[in-house]
Each structure stands twice: as C-alpha cells, then as structure tokens.
Chain A
Amino acid sequence: MAVDTPIPKTKNAAGATATPTPRKVVRPSSITLKIIMAVSGILLVLFLYVHMVGNLKIFLGDVEFDHYAHFLRSLGTPVLPEMWYLWAQRIALTVAVVAHIYTAAVLTVRAKKARPVKYAHRPKIQGSYAARTMRWGGVIVFLFIIYHILDLTTGTVNPNGDPEHPYANVVADFAPERWYVTLFYVLAIVAVGFHLWHGIFSAARTLGQQTEKGQKRAKTAALLLSAVLVVGYLSVPVAVLAGLVD
C-alpha cells in the first residue's frame, strides 16, 4: 500500500510539470559525448596493439604468419563455431568506430555552431599539429581503414587476394612496383600516429587526468604509445619493400 500510493502521485506530478516546461529535446552533454569518444578510442588503440603484434609475426616467416591467421579463424573450435572470435571482434570494433565517429561529428557540428562569425585576423592555432588535425586526420584514417579492409581482409583490391595465404597477400601488396600503395600505407599510418598522439592524451584528460605532473606524463605516454605503433606498423611494408620479407 505504501508503495502503491506514491507511484501514481509522482507520475501525475511529473506529467503535470512536463507539459508547461519548454524543455527541448534532451541532448547528450558535451562531456558525455567525449567520454564515449575516449572509451571507444581506447578500445581501438588496444586493438591496434593486438593487430600490430599479429603483423610482426610476419618476421617469423610465412608458416608462422599464416598459422596465426588461421588460428584466429579457428580459435575456440570445435566448442564454438568457426570465425566466432573474428566476428565478435569485428562487431565490437564496428560499434567502437561508429560511436567514435558519431560523437566526433556531433561535437564538430556543435563547435561550428558555437562560432558562426569567424575572426578576420586569426593566427595559426597554438595547439600542436596533432591537435589541429584531429578531425581531418580522423577522416583520412577512416578512408584508409576502408581501403585496408578491401585489401587485406576481403582481398578485393589485393593483387593476390587469397584468404588461405595472407603472407603472400602482404608480400604482393607492398611489391616495389606498387610503391604508391606502400606510400599510401605509410602516410596513413603516420596519420594514425598523429591522431593518437593527441588522442591518447585527450582521452586521459577526458577521463579525469587533472594534475600538472600527470599532464606531462600523459603527453609523454601518448607520444611513446603512438610512436611504437607507427614504427611497428611501418616495419612490415618497409621490410617487404626492402626485400627482407618475401
């Protein structure tokens, strides 16, 4: 009884107050959007590290590399269906990418609306190059991801495109006569590096990093984590180009 009476009461009260208040559509707050962006970004960075370790297996030779690729497909079988892990990871990554891009788009639109009249005289922003290029850098990275999936996941734009022999696909991809593809990969990975240099620090700040000392540490960590990824990822196309992997 004690439960029964207050419930309709509060419902009525809420219904009565909701009508006169000219409250607009509830929008997520800017910090909520940024937390979503930070968490999805961190998931993507973790994936990049796992992916890099897998890539570096190419230096152990074709047997090891192809075995690792097949292992990812058969992981957990026969208890779980073939490819379950890859599909679970693909779904999680897609959710993270969509969340990351959606929140970035909403915040970008809000930022543009927040300054409708531009300055006539505006010197270059003092923030780092990495910070200034987050939005367009992100777009470039996204386009690269699409190409990369068509290249080495589906094999559509790969000269080999043989799902059974990923090692051979990589070697064919970065062959010297396809230098433009290698160049595109190198530029895209450098773009990822710049994106993460500011992105990792920014995620730490969004999730509450708040001391001056911690700021220095977070910036150093962001630089190191990005640099390791850039070096790790670049080593593969460079090694193929140099003939160290064939």
Chain B
Amino acid sequence: MDIKVRVWRQSDSNDRGRMVAYDVKDISPDASFLEMIDVLNEKLILDGDDPIAFDHDCREGICGACSMVINGVAHGPEKATTTCQLHMRHFSDGDVIDVEPWRAAAFPVIKDLVVDRTAFDKIIQAGGYISAPTGTAPDAHAAPVPKKDADAAFEAATCIGCGACVAACPNGSSMLFTAAKITHLGLVPQGQPERDSRVVDMLQAQDDAGFGGCTNMGECAEVCPKGIPLSLIGRLNSDYRKAIAKS
C-alpha cells in the first residue's frame, strides 16, 4: 500500500519544528507502524536526509517507549494498543497520516517524535515505592491480599507509563498515570505505610512538573493502551482528601 505521512520534524529542543510530508510506497499491510517508519528512515538515510527520531524499545506493547500521536490520537486508532502493536492494515491505501509527538509542557520535545518523560520519573521518585525489608523473600502467604484487591491492584499495575494519558488529556494532566500508581500500591498491604505521604508527594510532583488538573473528560482512559479505568482517578482524589485531612 502507498501512503503519505506528515511527521513532526524538530532538530532539537530549541528548534520551532514543523510538519514534513513524506511518501511511503509499497508498504506491507502487515508491517507495524514503527516498521513503516523504519522503512521510511532507511530511504531517508539513503537519500542523505536525517532519519526521523522516535522512541521504541520492546516492540511488544509492554515497555511504553513508543510515543506517537497518530491522526490526533495517542497510539493511533486501535483501542488498547500501543503504536508498536498497531499495523498498517488498519489504514487504507492512499491515506495521509499525521504523526506528532506527545504534546505537554512537562514532556519537552528532544528531537522529532522523542519527548523527555523525566517528569514521570519525578512523580515515581516522589512516592511510587514501598518500604520493604531486605533479606530473604517472605513466604508468599505471609501477607494475605483479598483476591479482589489483588486483581484491582494488578489491573492498575499494568500501566506502562507511556504518557498517552497526558498526550490525550485536553488539560495535559497526568492524573490517570498517578492514579494508577496510587491504586496499584495502595490496594495491597505492602503499600500501606506510605499511603498518605505517597499521594500527597506524588500529586505535588505532578503539579510541580507542570501537568494540568483533571476535568474528568475521560480522554486518557480512551487512549490508554492498557485500559486503565478512569474511575481510579476517584481513588486518587479520595486518598488525597483523606491524607490532607489527617495531616
């Protein structure tokens, strides 16, 4: 299939950047979206042009590195799918596809489609951990966890921190990401000692990084490749309110 892609090109963080159109000819419908860009990049290199910089790592949908807004939708048109797991068969011959980086003040563009997601690391550093004693692993049943809680914690723990929620949010908010971490750690007994300080510190880090506030629109959950439910944000709000009331 032949398509045209319009890609955001920005040589470095100081460059203003612009959309540049490229023709991609004879691409297999079974190629992944990233493979399509690989093919385009090979051509660009042969032509002596600068290849398009983009983040990618596992290409299995589990690392969260690939970050592209495709036709205005983070990770493209397929629900609960990362860009690397998106295939060209979901597009039609002759399509014009716009590819842009995550857009957020907290995620500055480094080059082309690569953004700096250090802000997420800062949120994690602020409280995304538990205090666990070191030494030999405890018995698996030493800390009983109700199945319901374990399942819900695991569902939240599937967040891969890709940042699609921020890219999609009209307010550039990372509430879904932070809510997933709060839920994942706060539902299990190991996460209880820091439960109050965690939510306050992580929210502070989120606000300080320049993310916006949540307006409960639900754009984030729509694009989340792991299907993190919007309702977790209610848990973050509730935990935060209780933690502030206690302090």
Query: Which residues in A have some Cβ–Cβ distance to B below 8 Å?
Result: 27, 29-35, 107, 110-111, 113-123, 125-127, 131-132, 134, 198, 201-202, 204-212, 214-215
CB distance from A142 to the nearest CB of B (A): 18
* Contact assessment for A215 and B231 in the assembled complex, using a CB-CB cutoff below 8 Å: yes
What number of A-B contacts does a CB cutoff of 8 Å give? 137
Within 8 A of A (CB), among B90-124: 98, 100, 103-106, 109
Using Cβ atoms and an 8 Å threshold, which residues of chain A touch B217?
Answer: 125-127, 131-132
For residue B211, CB closer than 8 A to chain A, the reply is yes
* Contact assessment for B215 and A208 in the assembled complex, using a CB-CB cutoff below 8 Å: no
Q: A111-B213, A113-B210 are in contact. Are A123 and B71 (CB under 8 A)?
A: yes
For residue B29, CB closer than 8 A to chain A, the reply is no
12 contacting pairs across A/B (C-beta < 8 A) = A30-B213, A33-B213, A35-B241, A115-B105, A119-B100, A125-B170, A125-B219, A127-B218, A132-B217, A202-B216, A205-B234, A211-B231
* Contact assessment for B171 and A111 in the assembled complex, using a CB-CB cutoff below 8 Å: yes
CB distance from A109 to the nearest CB of B (A): 9
In the assembled complex, the Cα of A126 lies from the Cα of B203 at a distance in Å of 26
CB distance from A12 to the nearest CB of B (A): 23
Which of chain B's residues has its CB closest to A215's CB?
B231
Using Cβ atoms and an 8 Å threshold, which residues of chain B touch A210?
Answer: 231-235, 237-238
For residue B73, CB closer than 8 A to chain A, the reply is yes
Using Cβ atoms and an 8 Å threshold, which residues of chain B touch A125?
Answer: 170, 217, 219
Which of chain B's residues has its CB closest to A37's CB?
B213
Using Cβ atoms and an 8 Å threshold, which residues of chain B touch A119?
Answer: 69, 72, 100, 103
- Which single member of A110, A116, A126, A208 contacts B234 (CB below 8 Å)? A208
In the assembled complex, the Cα of A210 lies from the Cα of B216 at a distance in Å of 12
Using Cβ atoms and an 8 Å threshold, which residues of chain A touch B231?
Answer: 205, 209-212, 214-215
In the assembled complex, the Cα of A118 lies from the Cα of B73 at a distance in Å of 13
Within 8 A of A (CB), among B196-246: 203-204, 206-207, 210-219, 222, 229-238, 240-241, 244
For residue B172, CB closer than 8 A to chain A, the reply is yes
* Contact assessment for B104 and A131 in the assembled complex, using a CB-CB cutoff below 8 Å: no
In the assembled complex, the Cα of A201 lies from the Cα of B214 at a distance in Å of 13
* Contact assessment for B103 and A30 in the assembled complex, using a CB-CB cutoff below 8 Å: no
In the assembled complex, the Cα of A32 lies from the Cα of B164 at a distance in Å of 25
Which of chain B's residues has its CB closest to A120's CB?
B19
- Which single member of A114, A122, A215 contacts B211 (CB below 8 Å)? A114
Q: A111-B170, A126-B218 are in contact. Are A29 and B207 (CB under 8 A)?
A: yes
